[in-house]
Amino acid sequence: MRIALSVLALLLSTSLAAASFSSCVASLRERAAEAGVGPGIVARALDLTAPDEKVLRLSQLRPETKTPIWDYMAFLVDAQRVADGRAMMRKHASVLRAAERRFGVDRHVIAAVWGIETDYGRETGDNFLPHALATLACDGGPRVRFWRGELIAALQLVDRGDLKLDDLKGSWAGAFGHTQFIPTTYRRLAIDFDGDGRRDLVGSVADALGSTAHYLRRSGWQTGRPFMIEVKVPAGYRGPTGRTRKATLTQWARRGVTRADGARLAGGGRAGLLLPAGPNGPGFLVFRNFDAIYAYNHADSYALAVAHLADRLAGRPPLRIAWPTDDPGLSRAARLKLQQLLIAKGYAIGEADGKIGPATRAAIAEAETKLGLPPTGRPGSRILQALQAE
Ligand code: CA
């Protein structure tokens, strides 16, 4: 009897959840219609019977371990992304120059955003946005209004003819296209830069790069001004740090900060000091233009990756100061090599794709233990070299 009751309770709660989801979707349909989206588009977009489980899982995922900055940078600014970026900059030279002229934004930074966001258009995401956003808008969480706004904005882009419904594919959180705008940003700031009358950040590289330059300009980009300088701080530095605690370069020089390239620290503008790995690692003086990059995605590490990739695309050298670790991070090519070695040694991690998921992490930890290394599960140089030497 108790079992029967609990089964009944489960069935009831499942059907209640389904009922509340379908009534939520019905209200989304009404909202979309009120916002002027045509009934055909609303029907085709929201014709779904169940929440997208994958999106729910991803939205609830909390990373167990924080990625060390040297892993993050090694992966995002590797030799391949620099080489690919230079090739893409040659291929799209006239568009990048036109965007630079019109918005005053350094074309290397525009290309770097593209490279970091989607590997120059290769990885734009495959979640169908109307389903992903409806799922999030109906999950009962604290941000349902935000997700509802993104959903309506996405459908409006289709309604006004900028995009086709099938173009709405991207990240689980609604970022999509070559440079991963979310729909409300797209609605507000996307431009038609190739002149065909549509704002198409999915199919048109010109529209995407022009819109990205527009975004950076609107975020306060100052033409011809620096964005970042690599610096060194005195041993045991305990002075101010942080992007927003800005001071003049003269003030930084007085605090003992020097340029990593040995040149004199001089010039106008105010900068904050970032020490992402503490005073023994590379330091960065970051200017107002760095804040414009930060506006794109609110994380210092993200803005550092874009800024450093931009420097590399402009022909400037790799970081001069080493990260303070005896186990540096790996490029995508080295991660692939690591996975191939793990597979060759019998670890069941699926296919080697250079992407480090839970299965690869578990295999790394196991291999580390076997080799007498501390089990970190991290794709670092130490485990790669140990496996190569075996
Ligand atoms: Ca266009």
Domain at 269, CATH number: 1.10.530.10
Q: Give the residue from 250, 284, 313 where a domain finishes.
A: 313
Cα-to-centroid distance, 349 and ligand 1 (Å)? 42
Residue segments in the chain with a per-residue pLDDT below the cut of 70? 1-16, 63-65
Same structural domain, 309 and 245: yes
Q: Does residue 356 fall inside a structural domain?
A: yes
Considering 278, 313, 348, which residue would you say is the last residue of a domain?
313
Predicted confidence at residue 12, as pLDDT, reads 59
Domains contained in the chain, number: 2
Please report whether residue 249 resides in a domain.
yes
At residue 289, the pLDDT reads 98
Residue 389 CA, ligand 1 centroid: distance in Å = 53
Residues 305, 337, single domain; the answer is no
Q: Is residue 258 part of a domain?
A: yes
Distance 376 CA to ligand 1 centre (A): 47
Interval between CA 161 and ligand 1 midpoint (Å) = 11
Q: How far is the CA of 98 from the centre of ligand 1 (A)?
A: 14
Q: Are residues 305 and 260 in the same domain?
A: yes
Give whole-number Cα distances, 51 to 19, 33, 126, 229, in Å.
11, 21, 16, 46
Same domain, 236 and 300: yes
- Residue 49 resides in a domain: no
Residue environment code for 194-205, b if the CB has 16+ CB neighbours within 10 A, otherwise e? beeebbbbbebb
Position 290 in a domain: yes
- Report yes or no on 160 lying in a domain: no
Kindly state whether residue 153 falls inside one of the protein's structural domains. Answer: no
Q: Which domain holds residue 340?
A: 332-389
Residue 198 CA to ligand 1 centre (angstroms)? 4
pLDDT value, residue 10: 60
In 3D, which of 128, 120, 286 has the Cα closest to residue 212? Answer: 120
Judge whether 130 lies within some domain: no
Report percent pLDDT > 70 for the chain. 95
CA of 131 to the centre of ligand 1 (A): 26
pLDDT of the residue at 4: 62
Phi and psi torsions of 133, nearest 5°: -70, -35
